[in-house]
Amino acid sequence: MAARTAGVDPVSLHRWVAWGNEGREPYAAFAALVRLAEGKAEAAMLANVVQAGATDWRASAWVLERRFRRAWSRRDLAAERAKAEAKRAAAAELQSIPLEALEGMVQAERDRRTRAGG
């Protein structure tokens, strides 16, 4: 969009930046300026989100979800519940199998792996 606004074909812009990233002059200086402009735009957009967080908690939540994914990302609670239920069901099923049958299954798997060479 910025390229078109400046009257530059986007394909040309991408080519110039690629050449600049390869170190070719005068494109290297141009590519550095593009990266600087992109960084400034990113910082300005993030500042807007952070500022919005002062009056709308969702803006802060958005930053937390993306910056600290492990602690703050949304989780699919239905999927987590289904996974926990499946584990409980599997444990109950396993407990219902007689010990001798389980030992036979383990031995059969060992025999299969031995025959397979692994």
pTM: 0.53
Q: What is the pLDDT of residue 92?
A: 86
Q: What is the pLDDT of residue 118?
A: 61
Distances (CA, A) of 13 to 5, 17, 19, 27, 31: 12, 6, 10, 10, 9
Q: What is the pLDDT of residue 82?
A: 86
Mean pLDDT score across all residues of the chain: 89
Residue appearing with tokens 């967080």: 53
All structural domains of the chain with their residue ranges:
1-74, 76-118
Q: Residue range 72-88: average pLDDT?
A: 81
pLDDT at position 77 over 80: no
pLDDT digits (tens, 9 = 90+) for 86-115: 999 888 888 888 888 888 888 999 999 999
